[in-house]
Amino acid sequence: MKTHLNKQIITIALPVMVQNMAFYIMQFTNTAFIGHYKIEGLSAINNAMIPFHMFFSFFIALSQGTTIMIAQAIGAGDQKKAGHVAETSFFYNQIISFGYFLFWLLCGRYVLIMMGVEGEILEMGAEYVQVLSYVFLTTGMNLTASAIYQGIGKTTPIMMNNIYRSLMNIVLDYLLIFGKFGFPELGITGAAVATLISSTINNVTLANSSLKNGVIEVAWKGILNPVRGVYRKVFVFGSQAGVEFMLFMGAQVVLIRMLNTTDPLSAGLYGIINTLLNLSVNIYLGVGVAATTLVGQATGAQEHSRALSIGNRCILYALIVCTAIGLLFASVPGSILGLFSSDDKILAQLSPLLMIMILISFPKSVNIVAGNAIRGAGDARWMLITQLFGTAIIIAVSAHMIFVMKMGLAGLLVANFADEFWRSVVNYGRFLIGGKKVAAAATPHITIQPVGENITL
């Protein structure tokens, strides 16, 4: 029984882990390149990307609606309807994507000013966002293609595309940031150009392959002549998850704004800490996907004790990952942090923060995996409620730590730990107590991993 369950978890989790790690290696390398090129560049990029992702998270959530509707149609044996959903989503997602392009091209600088960014960091960030805005000319088709593959249950094309894009981005970053092998030295702007090139190629390639997915028919004729009323349902499905995503990212925007009022460089250091934290996240996120799928199946079969066993097993695996990564970071902190900067002053600031980050990783893992299990059991509203309270609490506690106790970035991380801890307790409790109360007919929820749609440095 345990062996079979382990095999099920690994079968689902492993492909997600591979594609997430490919993306993470790209993100890690980019951060290291920028940190060594100019440490202020990390502040510029982190200030730019937090609000960038806050708005983008809602768009990503809409693709969940596409995936859910395609999966439901296929489950009902209606491939024709699934094709209409895919074609209509291609059309409307691309229109929305063009709106994002115009917004960031024309208003990106003003968003950074509202974040409290000024001086050299503002100039670098504004130029970075302006270049990156052109990614949205093809992002809509990427989101739709990813949703199609997720909906039909074929994730290998997404994984392979993400690996190719990551490798291309790393090479282009090295050439364009530092000006190697005759290429111009573009610095921070080079990172944006590298992302633009690699993402555009990835977006077009994935979209083209999704037209020949082998399961549902997706044709240009249908894309250019979308079925009325279909996208309204997609929007209703996706917008529910979008609110939760935006609450989380909105809190991050406020936190960065607080840091900018006291020490603009801290925003860059916060980016380094988050990059390190995301190592464990990108590994156990695959286990979280397994929790969603397997708990959902067990709940649908009214096997509630099995659902609890699956959730607990997945949470245990996530905690094991955090322990291993935490021991690695704690054993060689200097070597790890030295990958991002050679400035002794910066490294001295980061060293104690690394220890707080290790502590944060444990309750965060419980939150993510237990949250996925709760959604798999059919209760998406619970996670929205806890995120709503979490957003209010972390902003209030962070403000107290930063402005009253004068703890700066360390205080913000302490607030992060407090937020993750209380939510991990209540979310895990909800999973344990609520599992037996979930009806077999609960609304299905599909977790989509940010693979093809990720926009990084």
How far is residue 41 from each of residues 21, 128, 224, 410, measured CA to CA in Å? 24, 10, 42, 21
Assess contact for 163 and 79: CB atoms under 8 A. Answer: no
Q: Where are the beta strands (DSSP E) in 409-453?
A: none
- 3-class DSSP state of 1: coil
Crossing angle of the two packed helices 39-75 and 230-262, in degrees rounded to 10: 160
Per-residue confidence in pLDDT tens, the chain, 457 aa:
567 788 878 877 887 788 788 888 888 888 889 888 888 888 888 788 878 887 887 888 778 778 777 876 776 778 888 889 899 999 999 999 999 999 999 999 998 888 788 888 889 889 999 999 999 999 999 999 988 887 777 778 888 898 999 999 999 999 999 999 999 999 989 999 999 999 999 999 999 999 988 888 888 888 988 888 888 888 876 776 678 778 887 888 889 889 888 887 888 888 889 889 988 998 898 888 778 777 776 776 677 788 899 999 999 999 999 999 999 999 999 999 998 888 888 899 999 999 999 999 999 999 999 988 887 776 767 888 898 999 999 999 999 999 999 999 999 999 999 999 999 999 999 998 875 554 444 444 444 443 334 444 4
How far is residue 85 from each of residues 62, 130, 296, 298, 435, measured CA to CA in Å? 12, 32, 23, 28, 32
Residue pLDDT, tens place only, 169-198: 999 999 999 999 999 999 989 999 999 999
Question: Using CA atoms, how far apart are residues 145 and 129, in angstroms rounded to an integer?
Answer: 24
DSSP class per residue in 63-122: HHHHHHHHHHHHHTT-HHHHHHHHHHHHHHHHHHHHHHHHHHHHHHHHHHHHTT--HHHH
Q: Where are the domains of the chain?
A: 2-437
Q: What is the chain's alpha carbon radius of gyration, rounded to the nearest angstrom?
A: 21
